[in-house]
Amino acid sequence: MGIVQSLFHTPPPPPPPPPPPPWREIKWGREENLEYVKTYKPTNADVSKLRIMIYGPVGAGKSSFINSIHTAVCGRPSNIVTPSSKTQDLLSFTTRYITYRIKKKDQPKEFCEFVINDTMGLEAGRNTAFLPERLRTAMTGRMPDRYKFEDENPPAENENENGNASLNDRVHVLVCVLSANSAGLHPDITEKIQRVRICARDLGIPHVAVITNIDKIEEEIEKNVRNVYKSTLLHRRMQEFSASVGIPVNFMYPVQNYSDNTYNRQDDIDALLLEALNHIIHFGDDFLDLQ
């Protein structure tokens, strides 16, 4: 009987395959990156503040990204920018070119040595064909703060490429904000991003991308943001963005913005935000070294 039973014995199932290695490494933790952000000073003596300009499609989370950066640096929930109440609003909530400063937590009356300029969102099928050219004007430092993008009259142009704008007023690094939750970019949006990218290239301005809403595309990331670089879906989405707009994947940084579900500060969310911000600052400072 024992022999018969052994003939019909079901062997145990093989062990599950090991999980795939992450496709990008990150040092989890916020303190080292946070210290760099707080102590950063532009290497170029002609510049008092590194200028970061962000742009991207409507609903990508530009304003929330600025608030999230402020939260990560300050260590408390922040709302220095009023974001749209809906992530998929048809119209851009931001209509003006506004400069935001990031406050240091332990020095409440002092600010970090970089500023972030928010811009009007790119929209498909709406008469915003002028916007890439207005963004070029901003990149060259000739757009006044709080300028309304939809004004009929653009900022006054000068004969020279940079006019009388100082290096301090010019944009030093450009950041395109894209939503991982978007299945793809509308051809009209893709065309506008490519026009902006060409403007940045002609001006020598480094161009990177921040990928938001990573917690909305895969349950494993929503459960634990440390799974971000294990997600093949996110990696594929970033490769698709790269093919559409021309920004290399290694210049794209996935982040999770703070929202209603993640209002209180979390170290791992901060780690991604500060990692992205550090790379952005490095690229901007490299640009300043060449001026």
Q: What is the pLDDT of residues 16-28, one digit of tens each?
A: 777 778 889 888 9
Residue 154's pLDDT is 59
The answer to whether 119 and 135 have CB atoms below 8 angstroms apart is yes
Residue 11 in any domain: the answer is no
Instruction: Per-residue pLDDT tens, the chain, 291 aa: give them.
Output: 555 555 557 788 888 777 778 889 888 988 888 999 999 999 999 999 999 999 999 889 999 999 999 999 988 887 787 655 444 444 455 678 899 999 887 666 789 999 999 998 888 876 566 778 889 999 999 988 888 877 655 565 543 444 568 999 999 999 999 999 887 899 999 999 999 999 999 999 999 999 999 999 999 999 999 999 999 999 999 999 999 999 999 999 999 999 766 667 889 999 999 999 999 999 999 999 998
Residue 164 lies in domain: 29-289
Tokens 């990177």 locate to: 208
Residue 177 in any domain: the answer is yes
Q: How far apart are CA 192 and CA 172, in angstroms?
A: 20
The answer to whether 101 and 111 have CB atoms below 8 angstroms apart is yes
Read off φ and ψ for residue 105, nearest 5 degrees.
-65, -50
Residue 57 in any domain: the answer is yes
CATH of the domain at 114: 3.40.50.300
Residue 155 in any domain: the answer is yes
**How many domains is the chain partitioned into structurally?**
1
Residue 90's pLDDT is 43
Residue 3 in any domain: the answer is no
Tokens 């793809």 locate to: 184
Q: What is the pLDDT of residues 53-74, one digit of tens each?
A: 999 998 899 999 999 999 999 8
Residue 7 in any domain: the answer is no
Q: How far apart are CA 156 and CA 163, in angstroms?
A: 10
Residue 22 in any domain: the answer is no
Q: How far apart are CA 205 and CA 174, in angstroms?
A: 7
Residue 234 in any domain: the answer is yes
The DSSP line for the chain is -HHHHHHTPPPPPPPPPPPPPPSS-----SHHHHHHHHH---SSTT-SSEEEEEE-BTTS-HHHHHHHHHHHHHTS---SS---SSTT-SS-S--EEEEEEEE-SS-TT-EEEEEEEE-PPB-SSSS-TTHHHHHHHHHTT-S-TTEETT-SSPPPP-SSSSTT--TTTS--EEEEEEETT-S---HHHHHHHHHHHHHHHHHT--EEEEEE-GGGT-HHHHH-GGGGGG-HHHHHHHHHHHHHH---GGGEEE-----GGG-S--HHHHHHHHHHHHHHHHHHHHHHHT-
